[in-house]
A and B are shown apart, each in its own frame.
Chain A
Amino acid sequence: MTLTLALVQILNGLQFGLILFLIAAGLTLVFGVMDFINLAHGVQYMVGAYFVAAFTAMTGGFFTGLALALPAALIFGLLLELLIFRHLYDRDHLDQVLATFGVIIFLNQAVKFVWGAAPLNVPIPDALSGAIEITDGLLYPVWRLIIIAVGLLVGLALYLVVNKTKLGMLVRAGASNAPIVSALGVNIRLLFTIVFGVGAMLAGFAGAMIAPILSVEPGMGDNVLILAFVVIVIGGIGSIRGAFIAALLIGLVDTLGRFFAPTLLRALLDPSAASQTGRAIAPMLIYILMAAVLFFRPSGLFPAKK
């Protein structure tokens, strides 16, 4: 019984971790290549979810909705880059943090203005709405398994692109030393626009995939954004591999922590105090983990800059 429950929690943790990876992948590259802190990356996730909700309602099918939402998220991201972010690359981190904070304030209100404050629901596609039996008595929703599969596929694809192609080589070089890459005759602005667009689309994709199991609402990107930052800081800024490992780590620690902290504490404290303390400690675990990692390795686990 406990084992099955633990397995479910591990799967949930993996699914959460992979969603975080989809968001963090773009963030870490943008950060690594251009040294640009983009707080507005979280709203990209929210906008992706809203797009899929809107297009699904419009076309009647989730997959047609998704097919329209992805390019829309890409265009939206590039538009933001063109209008605002482009003017911030040469600024210091303080300016970047503030201006992108302004983008968050605006967009959180703008989605409320356009789609209303009430959460939107996106139905899971009929064919994939069931659950399958993994082991005896363990039913797990198909949609969550699909998120895990898609997340792993995207991770693999990114790994191949970053490590086996010329574009990937340039991205890695850009993350470790952008000025030199630029001096060697590479159009770093164009490279960056590509990286930014792909990153924005991946975050939008994460939002679209999660939309059927979460409610789509204003501000949904804010907390995810902070978690994505925790991921890239633990993983080391600019490193896809670091982001992948750290995302899974955060996903598992957070999910399992919330589940097991009260149970484990019960051995030390009486039940009500244990569940109380457990619930207090669980959400703090990942931040404690981050502080610990930075204490011992101030540049994260896999820093891209040497």
Chain B
Amino acid sequence: MNNLVDLDAAPALATPTRARRTRILPVIIFAAFALVPLALLLGPQSYVLAVVTRIMILALGAMSLDLLIGYGAMISFGHAAFVGLGAYSVAILASHGITDGFVQLAVALATSLIFALFTGAISLRTKGVYFIMITLAFGQMLFFLTTSLAAYGGDDGLTLAARSTFFSLKFMKNDLAMYYVTFGTLLGAYLLLRAIVASRFGRVLRGIRENPVRMEAIGFAPYRYQLTAYVIAGLIAGGSGFLLANQTEFVSPAYTAWQRSGELIFVLVLGGLGSLHGAILGAAAFTLLADILSHYTENWAMIFGPILILVVLFVRGGINGLFGGKP
């Protein structure tokens, strides 16, 4: 009897601090991102700015995937396709002289929307392993499509003549502006996803994750909710592709390769599933680790691979879990 009381009491005591922590951590993360450029006024700004921008773009892609995997239990292994669509929209339009950011972004989002509706409608008919494989297949389709775009560089990829312009202004050319555009997008996406997850829609989605049959029995059609989530995630990933093309000023089929989709999942699991800000922690850890290791040895992948295996085997809940966050 005593035991029962203890078991009930412990989580009740732990919850407030835990809840506060999970609320504070994202604030700290975003404050840090906002202040990084100020802290660098004296240092090697351009390099560090570029790295942190890369982290935020990767985080954006992984965070959108969190809506699918973390909240919807839809393990998509083709998420890099959307990043590729966004990136290629920028590069192809730019190669035709259309550098207006609004047009590029609109095209990036429109192609992501169409691709998500089309592939999602088919993929979501399948379940479990088959869903993983069919999303992988659609990702591969896009990969081979990009390699065959001979007019746009084919296998070699395509260099951007210029970054996107807004109102005919070239302010994205400035790395600091690029940084804050990325920061604003990440913050916006985070707040949007946070609101979605907390909404009725988000609760239904989590219900479907736990038990689709039961949700159907109480009157929700899982398919529609899952497809909507799939489309939202695709749009955000497409947006991250828009930023990626601008940041690297280069696109190539490698952006859509299945290894990239695997990386997105890795980043997400490394940071912690189902928390949204976990994706940011994962992206930071992933990028910094790869950067630091590649400084010391060209065989950094031989260290990276085992780290990934160890994380999967032993670190439950990812980095966010280490901070006491719960999925």
Contacts and interface: CB of A to CB of B under 8 A. Distances in A.
Contacts of B122: 291, 294-295
A95 B268 CA distance: 12
Contact of B312 (A98, A106, A230): A98
Interface string B246-263: 000000000000110010
A283 B301 contact: no
B145 interface: yes
A97 B138 contact: no
B144 A101 contact: no
Interface of B is mostly: helix
A99 B312 contact: yes
Contacts of A290: 133-134, 137
A287 B259 CA distance: 17
Contacts of A291: 122, 134, 137-138
A2 to B, nearest CB: 24
Interface of A is mostly: helix
Contacts, number: 123
B126 interface: yes
Contacts of A229: 133, 136
Interface of B: 69, 75, 77, 122, 125-130, 132-134, 136-138, 140-141, 144-145, 147-150, 258-259, 262, 265-266, 269, 299-302, 304-309, 312-313
Contacts of A107: 305
Interface stretch (A3-11, A108-116, A123-131, A202-210): A108-116
A35 to B, nearest CB: 8
A292 to B, nearest CB: 9
Contacts of A113: 299, 302
A279 B145 CA distance: 9
> How big is chain A's contact interface, by range?
35 or more
Contacts of B300: 109
A108 B130 CA distance: 26
A106 B265 contact: no
A105 B301 contact: yes
29 contacts: A88-B312, A91-B312, A93-B132, A94-B75, A97-B75, A97-B265, A99-B313, A101-B262, A101-B265, A102-B305, A105-B304, A105-B308, A106-B301, A106-B302, A107-B305, A109-B299, A109-B300, A113-B299, A226-B258, A230-B137, A283-B148, A287-B140, A287-B144, A290-B133, A290-B137, A294-B125, A295-B122, A295-B125, A298-B126
B301 A108 contact: yes
A64 interface: no
B136 A226 contact: yes
A156 interface: no
Contacts of A88: 312-313
